[in-house]
Amino acid sequence: MLSMVIAAYNEENRIGESLLKIKRYFDGQDTDYEIIVVDDGSTDNTRQVAADYKSEITNLKIISYPVNKGKGYALRQGVFASKGDAVLLTDADLSTPIDELARLLPLISDQQYDVVIGSRALEPNKILKKQPWWRQGMGKTFNRIVKLLVLDDFNDTQCGFKLFSGKVARSLFKYARVNRFAYDVEILAMAKMKGFRISEVSVRWINSPESKVNPIFDSLQMFFDLVKIRLRMGKEKTKSPH
């Protein structure tokens, strides 16, 4: 079975259509699945809009709490609640179309890899709608800092489309600490340290103009989180037997 985890913050205008797109895709597939929407303290009607689709999507679960805690925190709650043999993390706006799952799933199903991450950097021509210039600049700068401070194995750590073996996902997120947007880097750093097999696969991607990223606050938060990840990974390495 496949578990899909979606972190949603103030997504009342998009979550319904995304859920229907996922349902329509799986209606044509021979795959058991569940959808877990984590309402990350939304101040709009995200929870109710998602819940309205429960009668149509019987394998839909809603997790909700009153205060926004960040994407990393929300995804942790969804992964903890998942039961699938594979776990897909995907954005509420489906910036990466759900049918791109067909490129990633065989790599997990055949047990070639434990983690497969979608990438916008391997084939830039697959970016069907680009981010504004300032978001592109933020992304490139962040990626350089990631490579400098934490790990230089990947070209795009921040694409929201990631697939894990279910057991691996639940084991990694159990020890995750980063609550906001740098959670991807922490998870990949832990996966690499634990020796899990990771593959980066190019995917189609369509920018959504309704970004929840604050260019100042979130940039500073992500930088501080990277420093914390670097320090934590260093401590973990010193504990490991040589």
User: Which residues, at least 6 apart from 218, have a Cβ–Cβ distance to it below 8 Å?
Assistant: 180, 181
Residue 183 lies in a domain: yes
Question: What is the C-alpha separation between 32 and 178, in angstroms, rounded?
Answer: 30
Q: Which two tokens stand for residue 225?
A: 């989180």
**Residue 118 confidence class, pLDDT cut points 50, 70, 90:** very high
CATH of the domain at 214: 3.90.550.10
Residue 242 lies in a domain: no
Query: What is the tens place of the pLDDT at every residue in 193-221?
Result: 999 999 999 999 998 766 666 656 667 77
pLDDT of residue 125: 82
Which domain, by its residues, includes 83? 2-236
52 CB neighbour count, 10 Å cutoff: 13
Asked if residue 67 lies in contact with residue 74, where contact means CB atoms within 8 angstroms, the answer is: no
What is the residue-averaged pLDDT of the chain?
89
Could you give the number of structural domains in the chain? 1
Please state the rounded mean pLDDT for residues 42-65.
96
Residue 48 lies in a domain: yes
pLDDT of residue 242: 45
pTM of the model: 0.89
Residue 15 lies in a domain: yes
Residue 215 lies in a domain: yes
Residue 241 lies in a domain: no
Beta partners for residue 162, in sequence order: 89, 117
| Higher-scoring residue by pLDDT: 149, 9 | 9
Asked if residue 126 lies in contact with residue 204, where contact means CB atoms within 8 angstroms, the answer is: yes
Percent of the chain with pLDDT over 70: 90
